[in-house]
C-alpha cells in the first residue's frame, strides 16, 4: 500500500515528513547541489537540470585523478577495468576490497541490528540507512581510500 501511495507527490511528502530521522541527512546533499528542497520534498529529474552534464545525464569522471588514487593503483587489472567501466555500467565491483574478517563483521553487525530492531528490511529486501545505526558500517563507507575514486 505504501508503494502505491508514493506515486502521489503530496502523499509522498506527508509520508516523508513523518520520517524525518531517516531523511534529514538529505538536506545537506540538497544544499550542496543547490537544490532548495526540504528533507520531505519529492525529487524529479527537473530538479537536477541546473547541474553540470544534466543534459547528457552523466557526471564525467576525471580519469587522470582516478588513475592517481592510491586505491586504483593498488588494484589488479580486473578490478581496475571494473572501476574504469563505472560510467558505462553505472556500478563497479572491486573484488576482495574487504577482507573475509571485515565482511563477517559487517554481516554480524547487520544481523545484530536486525535482531535489535534498529534497522529493518524495506521495499522487499533492502536495508536502508543502516549506516546511521552503526559506527562500523559508517566507518566502512567513509573509508578515505574508497572516497578517492568516488570523488574523481
Claim to verify: residue 120 and residue 139 sit in the same structural domain: yes
CB 113 within 8 A of CB 134: yes
Point out the domain boundary residue: 60, 75, 103. Answer: 60
Q: Is the pLDDT of residue 9 over 80?
A: no
Q: Are residues 71 and 55 in the same domain?
A: no
What is the Cα 13 distance to its own chain's centre? 21
- Report which of 40, 138, 112 is spatially closest to residue 130, judged by C-alpha positions: 138
pLDDT over 90 percentage in the chain: 34
pLDDT band at 116, cuts 50/70/90? very high
C-alpha distances in angstroms, 67 versus 44, 74, 106, 142? 33, 10, 29, 20
Q: What confidence score (pLDDT) does residue 146 get?
A: 83
Answer with the one of 19, 38, 60 that is the final residue of a domain: 60
* Dist CA 53 CA 17 (whole Å): 31
- The helix/strand/coil state of 7 is coil
Please give the angle made by the CA atoms of 9, 38 and 7, to the nearest 5 degrees: 15
* 67 and 26 in a common domain: no
- Name the pLDDT band for 1 (thresholds 50, 70, 90): low
Please give the average per-residue pLDDT across 128-134, as a whole number: 87
29 and 44 fall within a common domain: yes
Are 68 and 127 in a shared domain? Answer: yes
Looking at the fold, whether 22 and 77 belong to one and the same domain comes out as: no
CA 40 to chain centre: 18
pLDDT in tens, 28-83: 888 888 888 888 888 777 787 777 655 555 556 788 889 999 999 999 999 999 99
Q: What mean pLDDT comes out for the span 125-142? A: 87
Q: Which among 131, 130, 105 is positioned nearest to 117, based on CA atoms?
A: 130
- Say if residue 74 is in the same domain as residue 130: yes
Tell me, yes or no, whether 38 and 91 share the same domain: no
Do 22 and 69 lie in one domain? The reply is no
DSSP secondary structure string for all residues of 19-59: THHHHTTHHHHHHHHT----TT----GGGGTTSTTTTTT--
Q: Which domain holds residue 147?
A: 61-152
Q: Are residues 100 and 78 in the same domain?
A: yes
Per-position DSSP letters for 52-117, written without gaps between them: TTTTTT-----HHHHHTSHHHHHS-HHHHHHHHTHHHHS----TTSS-HHHHHHHHHHHHHHHHTT
Query: Does 97 share its domain with 150?
Result: yes
> Domains in the chain: how many in total?
2
Q: Of 60, 85, 110, at which residue does a domain stop?
A: 60
Please tell me whether residues 71 and 132 are part of one structural domain.
yes
Amino acid at each position: 500500500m505504501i508503494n502505491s501511495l508514493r506515486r502521489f507527490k503530496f502523499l509522498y511528502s506527508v509520508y516523508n515528513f513523518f520520517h524525518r530521522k531517516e531523511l534529514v541527512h538529505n538536506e545537506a546533499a540538497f544544499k550542496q547541489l543547490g537544490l532548495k528542497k526540504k528533507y520531505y520534498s519529492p525529487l524529479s529529474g527537473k530538479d537536477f537540470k541546473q547541474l553540470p552534464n544534466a543534459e547528457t545525464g552523466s557526471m564525467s569522471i576525471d580519469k587522470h585523478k582516478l588513475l592517481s588514487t592510491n586505491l586504483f593503483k593498488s588494484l589488479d587489472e580486473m578490478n581496475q577495468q571494473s572501476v574504469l567501466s563505472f560510467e558505462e555500467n553505472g556500478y563497479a565491483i572491486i573484488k576482495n576490497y574487504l577482507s573475509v574478517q571485515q565482511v563477517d563483521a559487517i554481516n554480524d553487525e547487520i544481523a545484530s541490528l536486525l535482531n535489535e530492531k534498529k534497522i529493518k528490511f524495506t521495499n522487499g529486501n533492502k536495508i536502508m540507512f543502516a549506516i546511521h545505526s552503526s559506527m562500523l558500517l559508517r566507518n566502512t563507507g567513509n573509508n578515505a581510500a574508497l572516497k578517492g575514486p568516488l570523488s574523481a
